[in-house]
Amino acid sequence: MPPRATLAGLLALAAVGAQAAPRTQKPEREDAPSPALLQRIAALALKQVEFGSVSLLPVRFEGSRIAGPIADGGRVIYCVSGRMYGRTFGKPERPKVTLRDAGDRLTVLDDDEVCTGHRTRPFPELDALGNKP
């Protein structure tokens, strides 16, 4: 077989092999919590002092993020963070909270180390709920 024919044959086989490879879905879409759960998470986060629940000055949120669900030793954990403006002048505060989902109720954890290294995604529900007049 001439070298050109061999090369063309190899390229054709590679193209067929690339098309036949199974495509994987992004796990984030499968793990995304329901809209009702996201509303509950946002409401609980906003009740925390770190998120301005006890503030004489009005606060507003921008760029809030959520990570999770994170499986950690049989627990399901969500990590919420954001940029909060209003209590300090100029530089925003960056509050964080770690929440555990027990199915029927959410609780606050004192474990921030669980959240390190996990991919976050935008959390517009917290921005919308926290910026209501």
pLDDT band at 87 (very low <50, low <70, confident <90, very high): confident
Stretch 69-89: mean pLDDT: 85
User: Would you state the pLDDT for residue 23?
Assistant: 45
pLDDT, position 110: 84
Q: Which residue has the tokens 């950690």?
A: 72
User: Mean per-residue pLDDT for 104-124?
Assistant: 84
Q: How far apart are CA 32 and CA 101, in angstroms?
A: 14
Strands 106-109 and 75-85, sheet pairing: unpaired
Q: How many helices (H) and strands (E) does the chain have?
A: 4, 5
Predicted pLDDT of residue 65: 92
Model confidence over 18-77: pLDDT tens digits?
554 444 434 444 467 888 888 988 899 888 888 887 877 888 888 999 988 888 777 889
User: What is the residue whose two structure tokens read 């474990």?
Assistant: 111
**CB of 62 closer than 8 Å to CB of 83:** yes
| Stretch 86-112: mean pLDDT | 85
d(CA 100, CA 93): 23
Question: Which two three-digit tokens encode residue 67?
Answer: 């990570």
Domain locations along the chain? 33-130
**Nearest to residue 120, comparing CAs of 37, 63, 50?**
63
